[in-house]
Amino acid sequence: MSAGRSARPLLLAVGLVVTVGAIALAMRGVALDDSADALAASNLLWLIPSTAVFVAGVGLRALRWWTLFHVEQRPSLREVTRALLVGYFFNNILPARAGEVARVITLHARTRTPRAETIGTVVAERVFDVLALLIILFAAYPWLPPLSWLRAAAIFGVVIVLAIGALVFVIVRYDERAIHWLLSPLRRVRRDGFAKRVELAAINATRGLVAIRSPRVAFESLMLTILSWVVLSFSSWLLMQGFSLDVAFAAGLLVTVTINMGLVLPSAPAAIGVFEAAVVIALNVFDVPQAEALSYALVLHLLNLIPFLLAGAA
C-alpha cells in the first residue's frame, strides 16, 4: 500500500473528529428552538441581492485564476470558469479538497492545458489567498472589536506565506537546479524513469508560477484576490441584514477571513460544521447571540453550497 493510500484513512478520521468538534462548538449552549425562531423571523428576500453579489465574487475568483496562466498558453476565461465551478462542486461533495484535483483534470480535458502548469497556478492561488486575507484582516483591525486570537491567526498566516514563498522563490530563482536538488531523494526509487518523470512534471509546474515571476502579474492577481474577498464579504454582510444583525461591514470581512482560515482544517465535505463554527466565532466578537449566529451561518452555508451544486451538475 502506498504512503498516500495508507494516510487516507487517518486523514478521514481526523476530518471526522474536526467536524464533530466543530458542530459541538457551533451548537454549544444553543437552544434549537431559539435558533429556529431566529430563522423564522428572518427576511430571506435578502438572499436575492446577496446571491447576486456572491456570483460577482465568484466571477472575480475565476478572473484571478485566469490571470495566473502564462499569456501564451492561457485558456479561455469561459473554460477556466467552468473548471473552477467543477472544482467547487467536488469540494462540496468530497473530502480533502478533492475539487482542486478535479478542476485541474477538467481544464486539461477541455483545453489540453498541461496539468503540471495548472497545478502551479493553484499553488499560486493559495499564496495570494492567504496573503490577501491577512491584508484584509489588518486593514479592518481598527473597526473590529478586540480579538484575542488575532495575534495567533496572524502568526499562523505569516508562517504559511513565508514558507510557501521561500519555496517558490528558490524554485523560481534557480529553476531546474533547485527542482533537481529538491527531488534528488526520488532517484533512490528503483523504478525506471520515475524520478525523471516527476522532475519533468515539477519543472512544468513552475511555469504555472508566472505570477511569482512577474511583478505586474503578481500585483494584478493580488488586487483581484483582495477585491474578490471584499465582494464576497459584502455578500455575507447583505445576508446579515435579513437577520436584523446590527453589525458593521467589518463583520462581513471577519466572517470571510474566519471561514477561510477554518477551511485549512481537514473536515467533512462542504466543511460541514467547520463553516458554521467559524461564522459563530466571528459573530461572537460582535456580541451576536449564538442562536441567531447559528441560524445565519446555516443560511450562509447554503448560499455558498447550492449555486456550486447546481453549476457543477449542469
Per-10-residue mean pLDDT for the chain, 314 residues long?
A: 60 88 94 95 98 98 95 92 96 88 96 89 90 91 84 77 73 62 64 63 64 81 97 99 97 97 87 96 95 98 96 79
Is residue 27 assigned to a domain?
no
Instruction: Provide the number of structural domains found in the chain.
Output: 1
**For position 33, what pLDDT does the model report?**
95
76: left (phi over 0), alpha (psi -120 to 50) or beta: beta
Whether the Cβ atoms of residue 206 and residue 199 lie closer than 8 Å to each other: no
How many whole angstroms separate alpha carbon 262 and alpha carbon 217? 28
All three cell numbers of 144: 473590529
Report field, pTM of the whole predicted structure over 0.85? yes
Is residue 39 assigned to a domain?
no
Residues 158-198: tens digit of each pLDDT: 787 788 777 667 666 656 666 666 666 666 666 666 656 66
Instruction: Find all residues with CB under 8 Å of 213, minimum gap 6, and list them.
Output: 172
Is residue 231 assigned to a domain?
yes
Whether the Cβ atoms of residue 283 and residue 251 lie closer than 8 Å to each other: yes
How many whole angstroms separate alpha carbon 163 and alpha carbon 159? 6
Neighbours of 279 (CB within 10 A): 26
Q: What range defines the domain where residue 156 resides?
A: 44-313
Is residue 5 assigned to a domain?
no
Instruction: Please name which of 121, 132, 136, 118 lies closest in space to residue 213, comparing C-alpha atoms.
Output: 121
Instruction: Please name which of 80, 58, 48 lies closest in space to residue 227, comparing C-alpha atoms.
Output: 58
Is residue 263 assigned to a domain?
yes
All three cell numbers of 16: 471526522
**For position 138, what pLDDT does the model report?**
87
